[in-house]
Structure 1
Amino acid sequence: MSPIDQDELEVAYGVHRSDLMRLLLARTGNREEAEDLLQELWLRVKQNPAGPVLNGRAYLFRMAQNLVIDRLREQQRRMQRERRWSDTTTDFAAAGVEPVDQRRSAEEAILDREEIAALTSAIANLPEGARRAFELHKIQGLSHVEVASILGISRSGVEKHMAVAMKYLRRALMD
């Protein structure tokens, strides 16, 4: 198989655009963010690829997945930065400002407990295969390969169970 050129990669993007959007939407759970990532993917496709591309579809899907991972890492770094900033101690007395009470209100604690109960119930009501895959991967922290080995299914099967679980949980928690 010979490497594809830039024009063929752009054609592959056009052919697989809707599938790429579905992937990004499934990974982010947010249409606007998925559209942003799809646009960023297009901009990267318009640039020359780093090396020879043998399979345009696989290359595009890997790029899309990498963009999602990069976005998540960026969000985590931003949250850590903001947390460090907000955790810095300020001499409130010297500033003549009364510190904000950092304790959670009773209402917030009740809402947290209700949210945890809703999530626990939603997980318990997942279809059996999806529930087992979700618990092994998300709760016990096993990789998809390890989950596949334990459940005696393919890695693709684990990914499908996870997609079902995430879709079901997103819907359950939105309601």
Structure 2
Amino acid sequence: MGLQERGGTALIRLYLERRSDLVRFFTMRLRSVAAAEDLVQDIYVRLSGLDQPTEIQNPMAYLYRLGSNLMLDRLRGERRTAHRDGAWLDSQTTRIGTEEISAEPSAEAAVAARQRLALLTAAIAELNPQTQRVFRMHKFEGLSHPEVAAALGISRSAVEKHMMAALKHLLGRLP
């Protein structure tokens, strides 16, 4: 007995009549009523998207096959997601025995680091402009004392004095 009606209307009617059977069938396979309900709803969405006349020899088998294909697609997607998430977690953590140790600092350590950075930034801003330039070029840009001296047109001794003044000031301001 074939099924031929415009736009999957007969399939939707059959789906509505047998919806509870579909939910039971997929609940057994997925071991979750909620997952089965979602899957059966996806079947309806697919059926409602059919707009060309279709000849289906066994409509009930078609509904179960459609649901099985959707279930397999969902399970493959979940497997890919789990693999991707596992790979990310492995890249972000270290294992010692069965314990996972995160490479990320704790929330408290992150807050403390931000506070220290704010104090350091404020202390640097308190330096006179020339000492700030020398400090930034040496510590942040990685230039040597002779390179800083050449760039600013001052003596190496002046660079050393600026650095000593900057470090003394920072040590006095930071805990």
TM-score, normalization by structure 2: 0.49
Larger Rg: 2
Q: Which has the higher strand share?
A: 2
TM-score, normalization by structure 1: 0.49
